[in-house]
């Protein structure tokens, strides 16, 4: 079948999607990967079904036309992978992510969209998506991404991964220009600690700067991550910028 998403590129064979996580080349799965396809365009859904039907290790178990229907189908079918658009009527894909994770905790969500907006990428990741792919990718890459995410990797289209790297570089280069914005969810001391974390300081240096013990700094960092429901210092910085707790001037 002809490529449903865009022309094949010379670099497709080398992996056109950026992956992060364990090596996907482990032991073959005994059962096919069960996929729920969610998109508001019936023709696009049908195209995906036809493409994925050719893959012996992938099985499309259902489809939905919007986020609300996707949540119901996910609860009923308990798929391994939800392949879902971002922009849909009634309920968008990003909004549906959180609910899907509640009704089908083991399901992994891959956003497949035309949106190359950074805000959509960040919001999708925050909502629980494991992959973010643009519809310009080839059909072969869709199946490859499904396998990779099922095996524990995260998948992001190269152009979106590039935007993430650009933002990280920008943060590092402009840390001295950040200013603190009050946020009710963190105490004043936690905001001070977060600002110093953003400049790249380690716990020992933060302790010296604020004239407190290193153990106290560790407690503050742990509290910050818990309050923001994040897992790393870098995630805390990115979240703080997105929510305007920290702002680049």
DSSP per residue, 47-65: HHHHHHHT-TTEEEEEEES
What pLDDT is recorded for position 121? 83
Percent over 90 (pLDDT), the chain: 38
Per residue in 33-46, pLDDT tens? Answer: 999 999 999 999 99
CA–CA separation, 19 vs 28, rounded Å?
A: 19
**Beta carbons of 48 and 56 less than 8 angstroms apart:** no
What pLDDT is recorded for position 3? 42
**Beta carbons of 191 and 181 less than 8 angstroms apart:** no
DSSP 8-state assignment for residue 185 = T
| Higher-pLDDT residue of 27, 150 | 150
| Higher-pLDDT residue of 92, 13 | 92
What average pLDDT does this structure show over 151-172? 70
Which residue ranges form the domains of the chain, and what is each CATH number? 12-158 (3.40.50.2300), 174-248 (1.10.10.10)
> Token digits for 209?
């700067």
What pLDDT is recorded for position 225? 84
| Higher-pLDDT residue of 184, 215 | 215
Q: Which helix (H) or strand (E) holds 173?
A: helix 158-173
What pLDDT is recorded for position 57? 94
What pLDDT is recorded for position 11? 39
Could you give phi then psi for residue 150, rounded to 5 degrees? -60, -30
């Amino acid at each position: 079948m002809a490529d449903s998403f865009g022309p094949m590129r010379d670099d497709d064979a080398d992996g056109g999607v950026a992956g992060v996580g364990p090596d996907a080349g482990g032991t073959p799965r005994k059962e096919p990967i069960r996929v729920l396809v969610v998109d508001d365009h019936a023709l696009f859904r049908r195209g995906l079904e036809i493409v994925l039907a050719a893959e012996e290790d992938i099985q499309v178990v259902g489809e939905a036309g919007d986020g609300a229907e996707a949540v119901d189908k996910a609860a009923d079918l308990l798929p391994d992978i939800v392949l879902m658009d971002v922009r849909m009527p009634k309920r968008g894909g990003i909004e549906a992510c959180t609910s899907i994770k509640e009704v089908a905790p083991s399901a992994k969500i891959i956003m497949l969209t035309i949106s190359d907006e950074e805000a959509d990428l960040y919001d999708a990741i925050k909502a629980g998506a494991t992959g973010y792919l643009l519809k310009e990718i080839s059909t072969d890459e869709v199946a490859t991404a499904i396998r990779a995410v099922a095996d524990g990797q995260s998948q992001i289209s190269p152009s979106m991964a590039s935007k993430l790297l650009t933002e990280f570089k920008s943060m590092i280069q402009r840390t001295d220009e950040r200013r603190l914005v009050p946020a009710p969810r963190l105490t004043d001391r936690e905001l001070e600690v977060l600002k110093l974390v953003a400049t790249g300081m380690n716990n020992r240096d933060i302790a010296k700067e604020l004239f407190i013990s290193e153990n106290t700094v560790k407690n503050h960092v742990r509290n910050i991550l818990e309050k923001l429901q994040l897992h790393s210092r870098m995630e805390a910085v990115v979240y703080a910028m997105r929510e305007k707790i920290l702002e680049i001037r």
